[in-house]
Amino acid sequence: MTVVVSGFEPFDGAVANPSWETAARLAERGEGLVAERVVAVRLPVTFAGAWPVLDAAIREHDPDVVVALGLASGAPGVRLERVAVNVRDARIPDNAGAQPVDVPVVAGAPVGYWSTLPLKASLAAIRAEGVPAGVSSTAGTYVCNDVFYALMHHWGGPGRRAGLVHVPDADVVPIEDQVAAVAAVVRHALLGTPEPVLAGGTES
């Protein structure tokens, strides 16, 4: 079994990005932890460049599961993203200086796509590890969502397990705990674990 896990380069003046640190560490420990082969892919924080890099890795490695990781700075825990939306609305420029506002990720495509990862089974497993986590119904409108949407539009679909997980800052959830959380997501995706009835919605 092969898994592709992507993370992002630093952006907005930061010197590191825990999404990439987590992806890289999971790949180092992948064999025996989650799958026979875990490939980590470092994505640029650019609207024009992120998906082509991930797409190339998917074409090269033909994975069974794809988990894109992104940083949700300020979040209190790991966020399992439920839906990708077809809009770019950048609060800040990306690393190439682009700042699209109210334009689609893919022109003429559906308004959104559901994650095909087992979110509730993963949530239960992550919480059992003692790591704070929740299901999120918005992946934002920056490059993380852009990659999530493109992944589901071009590769995701029936029978394919793919989606986005946002990790928090490393001082909120240490990298080792982030690795454990993402490993739980990957394991349940590979197993095709049925979703339990577990509330994960929010009031607002």
Q: Is the pLDDT of residue 96 over 50?
A: yes
Q: Is residue 197 part of a domain?
A: no
Structure tokens, 144 = 């993380």
pLDDT of amino acid 192: 82
Mean pLDDT of 39-59: 98
DSSP 9-33: ---TT-S--HHHHHHHHHHHT-BTT
Q: Is the pLDDT of residue 117 over 60?
A: yes
Beta strands in 104-187 (DSSP E): 112-114, 133-136, 161-167
CA 192 vs CA 121, 154, 156, 185, 187: distances in Å: 10, 21, 15, 10, 9
Q: Which of 126, 204, 193, 199 is nearest to 165 (CA)?
A: 126
Report how far residue 69's alpha carbon sits from residue 182's, in angstroms, rounded to the nearest whole number.
9
Mean pLDDT of 57-71: 97
50 Cβ partners below 8 Å, 6+ apart? 8, 43, 44, 143, 146, 147
pLDDT of amino acid 32: 64
Are the C-beta atoms of residues 121 and 195 closer than 8 Å to each other?
A: yes
Active site residues: 81, 144, 166
Domain with residue 137: its CATH number is 3.40.630.20
Q: Is the pLDDT of residue 115 over 90?
A: yes
CA 99 vs CA 48, 141, 166: distances in Å: 11, 11, 21
pLDDT of amino acid 36: 75
Domain range enclosing 140: 2-191
- With cut-offs at 50, 70 and 90, classify the pLDDT of residue 204: very low
Q: Is the pLDDT of residue 23 over 80?
A: yes
pLDDT of amino acid 167: 98
Q: Is residue 113 part of a domain?
A: yes
Q: Is residue 198 part of a domain?
A: no
Q: Is residue 94 part of a domain?
A: yes
Q: Is residue 177 part of a domain?
A: yes
pLDDT of amino acid 105: 98
Q: Is residue 7 part of a domain?
A: yes
Mean pLDDT of 107-135: 96
Q: Is residue 201 part of a domain?
A: no
Q: How many structural domains are present in the chain?
A: 1
